[in-house]
Amino acid sequence: MRYLPALLVGRLVRFAVRLVRPGGGSALPGLVVSKLAPNLVYKTLNSFEHGLVIITGTAGKSTTTKMVVAIARAHGMVVFTNPSTANIEQGFFSTVVRQANLFGKVPGSIAILEMDEGHAASIVERIKPKTSVILNVFEDQLDRFVDPALVRDKLLQVAKATYGTVVLNADDQNCLLIAEQTHQNKEFFGLGKSLAKAVGESMSYAQTYQKEIKRPEAATEAISLNGRELQASVHGREVKLELPSRGVHFALDALAALSCSREILSEHLNLALATQVLNDLPPVFSRGEIREVNGEPCEFILIQNPISMQLNIDNLTKDQDQVFFAIGRDVHDPSWMWTVDLKNLKSVHTVSGFNYADAALLLAYKGVSALNVEEDYFKAIDEFFALPAPTHGMKTVLYSADSMRRLRRYLGITDPEDVERV
């Protein structure tokens, strides 16, 4: 009963936040409980019968975690996991507050958690994963991380803290450097050679500026990728599946998820079942999510860093004539946007968000036309969704996290699980 007072206070805070802001409140309860009972989350996370799985790296954490969780659940495992918006220490506390009984126990025999790469090193000082998945290192949030090599060092600490198997991306030299410095059991996933070559330019992992390490054999590897159709080999067995959204990054997420699931379930992994799960899985919200607004389909795409902006723009269908581009205040230093090649973005209809001026400057200097540059964000949203249906493609919203939250609240989309597969 030692955690009872802290848990009660945490739940009260969560209730109060949700009264004020429906759909919000993932961080504050965790902050409060982390002060009142700092050991609670670590004790909980170290107590699962089948251990803890950590999924981390710059990009693809949310989608990969969602895939692994769904596969494990389909195999009958009771899984404790965190929402994608709660992947730092306070978020873990919030998740525990929401799901724990009054003794601090959460349901589940295994924990599968997405973890922010910046917080990972300090968190694994106190919790030891049985399996860790290190997806990649891209240039991201340099105002915070300064140098991708420092992110790689943090992920190395996760690998070293793992007592079972480290699952790594065979195509990313950063992961191979991490692999060289760890003695743990290692499993690799990746694109096949020809596919890696075909998409090499857009999948530009952070450069290591060190002698190239020979790519190891990947036990889970793509054979072909055609739109959303992925054919892959998992420990010598072929699978075919349909990804929740198009794009090579989703293929890599699926390969990582299959590789991780193989580690968790070993010979009990039913590949036909896992494939079916991935075929049915809706996208994580705003990662290629399509939903109706005003009776018309609209695609919502989250831009988080140079690589997600690059891949998502590369994946836009041609002749897109109604793109909404909103960069919010979460983009503290918008410099990174200028490293992205915009050749596949012919025009933008509406530019808005807190950083609308930087976004519009980027488009102007890169030769992308912008019809409506609107400082007032809610006015921009109203005007965009009042437009008649586009002549090509569908309405497409490209937005950063802050702009995403504001737009979704404004449109009344508050449940992150409320995403359907199209």
Interface residue with another protein among 39, 101, 122, 207 (CB under 8 A) is 207
Tokens of 353: 């968000």
Task: Give yes or no for residue 362 binding another protein (CB under 8 A).
Answer: yes
- Answer for which of 209, 267, 272, 318 binds another protein (CB under 8 A) is 209
Instruction: Decide: is 146 part of the binding site for another protein (CB under 8 A).
Output: yes
Q: For another protein, which is the closer residue by CB, 7 or 362?
A: 362
| Binds another protein by CB under 8 A, chosen from 103, 365, 378, 410 | 365
* Cβ closest to another protein, residue 333 vs residue 415: 333
DSSP assignment of 279-328: HHPPPPTTEEEEEEETTEEEEEEE--SHHHHHHHHHTSPTT---EEEE--
The distance of closest approach from Cβ of residue 203 to another protein in the complex, given in angstroms and rounded to an integer, is 15
Binding to another protein (CB under 8 A) within 329-348 occurs at: 333-339
The interface region with another protein, picked from 62-70, 204-212, 220-228, 283-291 by CB under 8 A, is: 204-212
Cβ 357 to another protein, closest distance in Å? 4
Q: Which two tokens stand for residue 333?
A: 């230093």
Exposure b/e, 92-105, CB count within 10 A at least 16 = b: bbbbbbbebeeebe
Please pick, from the candidates 360, 380, 397, 419, the single residue that binds another protein as defined by CB under 8 A: 360
Place of tokens 């943090």: 154
Q: Which is nearer to another protein, 143 or 319 (CB)?
A: 143
Neighbouring C-beta atoms of residue 272, cutoff 10 Å: 9
* Binding residue (CB under 8 A) for another protein from 319, 375, 382, 415: 375
Q: What is the DSSP letter of 329?
A: T
The residues that bridge with 370 in the sheet, in sequence order, are 348
Fill in the amino acid letter for 73. Answer: R
Q: Are 132 and 158 in contact (CB under 8 A)?
A: yes
Pair 79, 45: CB distance under 8 Å? no
- Which of 51, 129, 148, 192 binds another protein (CB under 8 A)? It is 148
Are the beta carbons of 403 and 329 closer than 8 angstroms? Answer: no
Least distance in angstroms from the C-beta of 364 to another protein: 5
- Which residue number, 365 or 378, has a Cβ lying nearer to another protein? 365
Strand partners, 112: 53, 81
**CB closer to another protein, 253 vs 358:** 358
**Binding-site member from 5, 22, 200, 367 for another protein (CB under 8 A):** 367
Using CB under 8 A as the binding criterion, the count of chain residues that bind another protein stands at: 33
Task: Output 340 or 407, the one with its CB closest to another protein.
Answer: 340
Phi, psi of 264 (to 5 degrees): -70, -45
C-alpha to C-alpha distance for 108 and 106, rounded to whole angstroms: 6
3-state DSSP assignment of residue 413: coil
Q: Work out which of 366, 390, 393, 401 binds another protein, going by CB under 8 A.
A: 366
User: Helices (H) and strands (E) in the chain — how many of each?
Assistant: 16, 15
Q: Is the Cβ of residue 143 or residue 238 nearer to another protein in the bound state?
A: 143
Residue located via tokens 């989250």 = 302
For the CB of residue 411, give the shortest distance to another protein in the complex, in Å. 24
Does residue 201 interact with another protein by CB under 8 A? no
Minimum Å gap between C-beta 338 and another protein is 3
CB 195 within 8 A of CB 224: yes
| Residue 330 structure tokens | 């979460």
User: DSSP characters for 29-84?
Assistant: HHHHHHHH-TTHHHHHHTT-TT-EEEEESSS-HHHHHHHHHHHHHHTT--EEE--T
Is residue 142 a contact residue for another protein (CB under 8 A)? yes
Residues that bind another protein (CB under 8 A): 139, 142-144, 146-149, 207-210, 333-339, 354-358, 360-362, 364-367, 373, 375
